[in-house]
Amino acid sequence: MNTDPECNFCKKNKQIYLTDHEYEHPEPTFIKRLPASVAALSYEQDYPGRSVVILRDHETSLTYMLEHKFLLFMAFMEDVSAVSEAIYETLDPVKINYMILMNQNDHFHMHLIPRYTNEGDKMHTPPVFRGTPGLVPGFDYRSLALKIRHHLPTKKSEFSVCIEELINSGLPEK
């Protein structure tokens, strides 16, 4: 697996540890380690359930992934789909916006922003992104993260199992 010692996402991914039966992370936003990615709540929870799905392998270019690591990208999208479905089951949003920005961190990741009817007409405009730098005091990230985790599938597809084995054994550069 490729990592960058200077990358904040790579540093956070290294903090993931295995308990008796589940991967955990010291940060309360952690949802779950998935076959190709890591899911976590965003610090910003202005849209309840706002999350980020972070590729476990350090890649910085969508174009490169599509040209050289297409199967990894597909496994990542399978993870995104699973997290999205878990958010729907947990919070019942009307829809979810998917965003690849990479403005603050160039490690490949996707933002999932649930949208709700109580937003009124604003639901049809792009979501606000402030880039909150840390945990918001008083917000119970852990409870929400565990509720979303509860709705994630426990069985992995054969495809995801193969990709996870490749990632764990070390993906080639190209």
8-169 adopts what CATH topology? HIT family, subunit A (3.30.428)
Which position has the token pair 């509720």? 147
Torsion, Cα of 155, 77, 108, 71 (10° steps): 90
pLDDT for residue 2: 86
pLDDT for residue 172: 65
Residue 94 confidence class, pLDDT cut points 50, 70, 90: very high
The total of other beta-carbon atoms located within 10 Å of residue 153's CB is 11
Asked if the model's pLDDT at residue 173 lies above 70, the reply is no
Domain spans of the chain?
A: 8-169
pTM score above 0.75: yes
Helices (H) and strands (E) in the chain, counts: 5, 7
Find all residues with CB under 8 Å of 41, minimum gap 6, and list them. 29, 31, 49, 50, 51, 52, 141, 144, 145, 148
Find all residues with CB under 8 Å of 56, minimum gap 6, and list them. 1, 13, 33, 36, 37, 38, 167
Average pLDDT, rounded, for the chain: 93
Tens-digit pLDDT profile for residues 118-167: 999 999 999 988 778 899 999 999 999 999 999 999 888 898 888 888 88
